């Protein structure tokens, strides 16, 4: 059975997380992703190592299903080989600092001239403007994209989210642009440039907070648990931010992740009132309707928590789901790695590696009926130099040792 992107070659000139997360997804979808690294390798190969002299989990979990070559693009021969690779690729992806690829001599105009069909994707921190040359990291993007200002509790500082919405979130946006450009190419025959900024991607993921910023002009936001409102959307703790109120309530025995997130829909209130031992609240005019409950959200969830705190979260989950009440236990990273259903769905997978042994990683979240995914390990540095330079580019085998000696690969 063929895979969705079979026959598409991606020249992956990315590093760290935002770019590699995008190219890894393309590889999972069947593209032949060639990770081009400087002779020293992607910096994450050595960052946050848990084993000495072995590629880190940081690297292995972002570079599955790829092939690796090394190339010093600052050398004349390196530029020649890069030109050859661009000419043979369908997609080129980079996330260098602004202007870095241009300074190598590979402007978009030149890349397009070398290969008019290529889709050239650039991931940067910011769009054109006063921030263009700022250095961007995951939490910097969260800070400047609206996430941190609206995350946390109203009496505390801005908070970062554990989800990598700045890096991997931007990578997912880049994939959407790349696939759209490849589809358009089937009609036009031409490639195009795809540009995605981390700040923009985070902002796109925070759009509901911009919705609420505009709603503030008409008064306080009733579904927020906050007592006071200024002229900016406040941090609202664990409030759902949607049309139905939600909160994380404590469960027994009271550990750091012994919580269940509960959403109270209008139809869910009578069975919740029954479960917490207060069935009369389903009929009480002070509690029976969503409008009556909105001013008392903190008290409502306190009543629910008085019940949940006496039970383990899995028992709470079972009872709430028995009444079709939307809820979910707070799962720790340990619980997620051990979750049998996630393994059965191949979203948590074990992968063998020749140096570090087996490691656990995240599988492909995109499930296509006619394009199954097998997760393979990340490549060793320069593992595919011979295959690509000699077997595919056709350079003389005798040149390979010379390229190593001269620091070209």
Strand duo 327-329 + 259-263: pairing: antiparallel
Eight-state DSSP code of residue 91: E
User: Which segments within 79-118 are labelled E, that is strand?
Assistant: 91-94
Cβ neighbourhood burial of 396 (10 Å; 0-12, 13-18, 19+):
exposed
Contacts 24+ apart (CB under 8 A), 251-255: 251/308, 251/309, 251/311, 251/312, 251/313, 251/316, 251/329, 252/309, 252/310, 252/311, 252/312, 253/312, 254/309
Backbone angles phi, psi at 91, to 5 degrees: -135, 140
Q: Within a 10 A sphere around the Cβ of 177, how many other Cβ atoms?
A: 18
**What's the length of the chain?**
409
- Choosing from 167, 212, 227, 370, the catalytic residue is 167
Known catalytic residue at 167? yes
The span from the CA of 171 to the CA of 20, in Å, is: 8
Strand duo 193-197 + 91-94: pairing: unpaired
Q: What angle separates helix 198-205 from helix 168-188, to the nearest 10 degrees?
A: 100
The span from the CA of 91 to the CA of 192, in Å, is: 10
Cβ neighbourhood burial of 352 (10 Å; 0-12, 13-18, 19+):
exposed
What residues act catalytically? Answer: 167
């Amino acid at each position: 059975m063929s895979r969705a992107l079979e026959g598409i070659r991606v020249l992956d000139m990315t590093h760290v997380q935002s770019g590699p997360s995008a190219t890894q997804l393309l590889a999972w979808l069947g593209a032949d992703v060639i990770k081009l690294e400087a002779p020293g390798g992607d910096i994450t190969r050595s960052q946050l190592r848990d084993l000495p002299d072995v590629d880190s989990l940081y690297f292995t979990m972002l570079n599955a299903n790829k092939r690796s070559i090394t190339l010093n693009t600052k050398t004349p021969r390196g530029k020649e080989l890069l030109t050859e690779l661009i000419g043979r690729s369908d997609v080129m992806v980079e996330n260098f600092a602004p202007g870095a690829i241009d300074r190598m001599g590979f402007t978009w105009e030149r890349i397009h001239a070398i290969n008019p069909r290529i889709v050239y994707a650039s991931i940067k921190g910011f769009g054109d403007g006063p921030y263009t040359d700022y250095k961007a990291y995951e939490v910097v993007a969260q800070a400047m994209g609206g996430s941190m200002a609206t995350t946390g509790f109203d009496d505390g500082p801005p908070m970062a989210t554990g989800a990598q919405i700045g890096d991997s979130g931007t990578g997912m946006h880049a994939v959407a642009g790349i696939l759209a450009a490849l589809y358009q190419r089937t009609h036009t025959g031409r490639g195009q440039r795809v540009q995605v900024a981390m700040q923009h991607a985070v902002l796109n993921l925070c759009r509901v907070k911009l919705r609420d910023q505009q709603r503030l002009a008409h008064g306080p936001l009733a579904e927020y648990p906050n007592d006071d409102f200024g002229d900016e959307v406040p941090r609202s703790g664990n409030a759902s931010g949607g049309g139905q109120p939600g909160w994380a309530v404590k469960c027994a025995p009271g550990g750091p992740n012994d919580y269940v997130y509960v959403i109270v829909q209008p139809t869910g209130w009578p069975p919740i009132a029954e479960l917490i031992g207060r069935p009369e609240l389903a009929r009480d005019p002070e509690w029976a309707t969503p409008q009556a409950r909105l001013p008392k959200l903190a008290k409502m969830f306190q009543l629910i928590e008085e019940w949940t705190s006496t039970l383990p979260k899995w028992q709470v989950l079972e009872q709430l789901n028995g009444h079709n009440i939307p809820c979910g236990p707070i799962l720790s990273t340990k619980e997620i790695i051990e979750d049998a259903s996630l393994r059965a769905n191949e979203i948590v997978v074990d992968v063998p590696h020749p140096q570090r042994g087996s490691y656990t990683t995240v599988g492909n979240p995109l499930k296509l009926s006619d394009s199954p995914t097998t997760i393979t390990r990340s490549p060793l540095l320069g593992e595919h130099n011979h295959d690509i330079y000699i077997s595919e580019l056709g350079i003389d085998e005798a040149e390979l040792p010379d390229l190593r000696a001269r620091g070209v690969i």
